[in-house]
Amino acid sequence: MQNYHFDVTEKQNKLRLDTCISHFLPQYTRSYISRLIKTEAVHVNQHLKKASYLVKTGDCISILITEREQLSAIPEDIPLDILYEDQDILIINKQAGLVIHPAPGHASGTLVNALLHYNNQQFSKVDRFGIVHRLDQDTTGCLIVAKNMQSQNYLNQLFKNRTIEKKYLCLVNGQMKQQKGIIDLPIGRHPTHRKKMSVHAKISRHAETAWKLSRQFDHFALLEIFLKTGRTHQIRVHLAAINHPVVGDQVYGKQRNWEHCQQAVQVCIKKIHRQMLHAHEVGFMHPRTNKFLRITAPLPVDMADVLSVLDVPKLGN
């Protein structure tokens, strides 16, 4: 059981109640927050409100969490690529296609199911199975899992304070005109497509992405990405907004004509069915040792293969 109490500030004034709560509790999914509101676990000024209620400056939000989502999850034998593990934390190299939490349409085959198979006794005792952050289904790379409540609370606080270093690698369309830059555009729900995010949303939150050019190809670029904030689909939305969508992004990318590329590159690009985005590195102070820990995840095979093809020089060069 956990009790939370928050006072709405001017920054959250006129946000929807569910949106406001997700701002205070980013470790919980929007669907879970909606369920808390529907099951009367949320009170505003000691009164029940709907998820659509627009909060006001000075409102006091109280939340009582008594249930655990893991009651409905079952262990499944799903391989985990473990990069680091000790008594407090587990860091995996998440494979493409792996959903983090069970949800409608993904009742099984998720990271949660894999964690319960790997160590049911431990992860079943931690809220949200130890999950402290997420990666999109088709994004690969470093993902941190807490193995006990103490480390989970500690890591949640690090994420809230934005003190965890995260570096991504991604392949984008087009050539960059600069060596580095910062994308500072707010992100919120798309005004018409509810499953998408947008920089033109009616209700949005500050989002900032720093990028650095790693390698430039004829029609593509490999970027290092450093997140200042952690909004849903942030990297993909921001890069699409500056007309350099992530290669293979089926949601935020646009269909492009590859006839100007070498034949080998055309064949390779057409085989890509997911965004070429990889959580390459995480760094943070360890919850028990208080020493800085940095973990790196090697590039997935499909992304490495694309880069190797792009590196092949043209005939006659």
Positions marked active-site: 136
Token pair of 129 as six digits: 């199975």
Integer Cα distance of 28 and 15 in angstroms: 17
Beta strands 140-146 and 208-216: pairing type?
Answer: unpaired
DSSP the chain: -EEEEEE--TTTTT-BHHHHHHHH-TTS-HHHHHHHHHTT-EEETTB---TT-B--TT-EEEEEE---GGGG---------EEEE-SSEEEEEEPTT-BSS-BTTBSSSBHHHHHHHHHHHHHTTSGGGGB-----TT-EEEEEEESSHHHHHHHHHHHHHT-SEEEEEEEEES--SSSEEEEE--EEE-SS-TTSEETT-SSEE--EEEEEEEEE-SSEEEEEEEESS--TTHHHHHHHHTT-PBTT-TTT------TTS-HHHHHHHHT--S--EEEEEEEEE-TTT--EEEEE-PPPHHHHHHHHHHTSPPTT-
